[in-house]
Amino acid sequence: MKKRTFLKTSSTLLAGSLFAPWTACKQSSAPQEEAPVRTNWAGNLTYSTNQLHQPTSVEALQELVLKSEKVRALGSRHCFNRIADSRYSQISLDALPALMEADPAAGTVSTGAALRYGQLCPYLHKQGLAIHNLASLPHISVAGACATGTHGSGVHNGNLSTAVTGMELVRADGELVQLSAATHPTIFPGAVVHLGALGIVTRLQLKVQPAFQMRQMVYQFLPESQLEAHFDQIMSAGYSVSLFTDWQSDTVNQVWIKERLEETRPEAPASEFFGAKLATRNLHPIVELSAENCTEQMGVPGPWYERLPHFRMNFTPSSGKELQTEFFVPQERAVEALAAMRALHREVADLLLISEIRTVAADQLWLSPAYGRPSVAIHFTWKQDRQALDRILPKIESALAPFDMRPHWGKIFGVPAEVLASRYEKMADFRALMKEYDPNGKFKNEFLESVMA
């Protein structure tokens, strides 16, 4: 028996279809009365339109898309670049019924696209289910995260998009289409990480597994020499391992180890880890900030969705007023790439709040930064000074170029389209898919023009 939860309304099942049909409800697709200034979450950019549509039914959404000349989907606004921007209009699905429908027998959940992981995960946990991994924060929308290849950490964990087994989207011609690996085996791996270019995703079907308990430990001051000598071993020391560093000393500031707790009673955490010392209190990755915003550490057991993210749902994640950049390199070259970053430690010192190093398992999703290679993601949280960042960014990007670095689609980067095309072997196939789903470029914006050669 499927277990279903509807936050605002209910719907009925349609046999033979990947997703149940949406219940028709009041159609209201008129642009909202908006405050004159609309920004992304970090406030580092203002969207170029005040036309924000919030349809309350899928039928209204279809009509809106059909009538629109140009439009972009907007998720929870957590990207740092103009990927979600439009000079014409944006559509948020926040007013659609927030459907969550678990199917434990099939090992899937069907979720409304605009739902935040922070809404979906407690529901899943109550059903005895879990997603394989989460980003550092639960505040982001499922559709927005999967559209950009958002990831957590763990050598065996693919990014969040790898959980997608089905999608429902409104195409440029207003048609509501359903895609899955079974029905569209050739193009499905191309459609999952889509950068908002194929249509407005209304629902996603995600792979789930039985719920599990976790604990996380933080170690401080990992000697760089240990990291260089034992990189793979350190990054495999838990289900998910993150390193935080400011590159300013010969130690890594913090190592966060997230362990799955299986049936047996866990041993007490070791007091040392490759020369790093077990922290004696909860810590924020930016050590000066309050750990109140962070998920429980110190080895305290808890449900998967309260340990996999670093930050708690009802608190500000990260620092708030910031910029972010992130680059993926092949894991086999991680030690070299980290050495190249360390060589820039003086140049980043004034602007950097903290860097994070994580692993992402290889996948086959065409535009995933981990496409075809086990990857290491090198992330930077910066003070919010775009001019200073623009001076440093080319140096970082050229230092990582020998490793065929791929940038995070939702963060700030300057890698030009022709270089991206050389680092994504499926880019031409993705452009062909865009042409098929959106022949007149209804969903194209300036960001997409700039990244697609």
Ligand X SMILES: Cc1cc2nc3c(=O)[nH]c(=O)nc-3n(C[C@H](O)[C@H](O)[C@H](O)COP(=O)(O)OP(=O)(O)OC[C@H]3O[C@@H](n4cnc5c(N)ncnc54)[C@H](O)[C@@H]3O)c2cc1C
> Residue 27 CB, nearest distance to ligand X (Å)?
18
Residues in 97-126 at the binding interface with ligand X, rule: CB under 6 A: 113
Q: Work out which of 318, 355, 368, 375 binds ligand X, going by CB under 6 A.
A: 318
Which residue sits closest to ligand X, CB atoms considered? Answer: 144
Cα–Cα distance for residue pair 357/176, rounded to 1 Å: 39
Q: Work out which of 118, 144, 189, 190 binds ligand X, going by CB under 6 A.
A: 144
Q: Which is nearer to ligand X, 159 or 220 (CB)?
A: 159
Cα–Cα distance for residue pair 404/164, rounded to 1 Å: 26
> Residue 209 CB, nearest distance to ligand X (Å)?
20
CA–centroid distance for 333 within its chain: 23
Residues in 243-282 at the binding interface with ligand X, rule: CB under 6 A: none
Window of 129-137, 185-193, 250-258, 427-435 that interacts with ligand X by CB under 6 A: 129-137
Q: Which is nearer to ligand X, 92 or 108 (CB)?
A: 92
Size of the site for ligand X (CB under 6 A): 34
Q: Which is nearer to ligand X, 140 or 357 (CB)?
A: 140
Q: Which is nearer to ligand X, 58 or 127 (CB)?
A: 58
Q: Which is nearer to ligand X, 29 or 127 (CB)?
A: 29
Cα–Cα distance for residue pair 63/294, rounded to 1 Å: 42
Got the DSSP string for 165-224?
Answer: EEEEEE-TTS-EEEEETTT-TTTHHHHSS-TT-S-EEEEEEEE-EE--EEEEEEEEEEEH
Position 151 contacts ligand X (CB under 6 A): yes
Residues in 345-374 at the binding interface with ligand X, rule: CB under 6 A: none
The answer to whether the CB of 29 falls within 8 A of the CB of 65 is no
Helices (H) and strands (E) in the chain, counts: 11, 21
Q: Identify the DSSP state of 157.
A: -
Q: What is the enclosing helix (H) or strand (E) of 90?
A: strand 90-92
Window of 79-87, 289-297, 329-337, 424-432 that interacts with ligand X by CB under 6 A: 79-87
Residues in 395-424 at the binding interface with ligand X, rule: CB under 6 A: 408, 410
Helix, strand, coil share of the chain (percent; to 5): 25, 25, 50
Position 191 contacts ligand X (CB under 6 A): no
The answer to whether the CB of 167 falls within 8 A of the CB of 76 is no
Place of tokens 């109550």: 126
Cα–Cα distance for residue pair 117/313, rounded to 1 Å: 9
Position 294 contacts ligand X (CB under 6 A): no
- Comparing CA positions, the residue from 137, 130, 7, 28 lying closest to residue 76 is 137
> Residue 242 CB, nearest distance to ligand X (Å)?
9
The answer to whether the CB of 278 falls within 8 A of the CB of 272 is yes
Q: Work out which of 45, 58, 79, 399 binds ligand X, going by CB under 6 A.
A: 79
Report the SS3 class of residue 66: helix
Position 189 contacts ligand X (CB under 6 A): no
Q: Which is nearer to ligand X, 20 or 201 (CB)?
A: 201
Torsion of CA 229, 337, 137, 354, to 10 degrees: 90
Q: Which is nearer to ligand X, 136 or 162 (CB)?
A: 136
Q: Which is nearer to ligand X, 102 or 134 (CB)?
A: 134
Q: Which is nearer to ligand X, 136 or 253 (CB)?
A: 136
Window of 139-147, 232-240, 248-256, 332-340 that interacts with ligand X by CB under 6 A: 139-147
Position 150 contacts ligand X (CB under 6 A): yes
Got the DSSP string for 240-281?
Answer: EEEEEE-SSSSEEEEEEEEEEE-SSPPPPPPSEETTEEE-SS
Interface residues toward ligand X, by CB under 6 A: 41-42, 72-79, 83-84, 93, 113, 135-137, 140-141, 143-145, 147-148, 150-151, 195-196, 200-201, 317-318, 408, 410
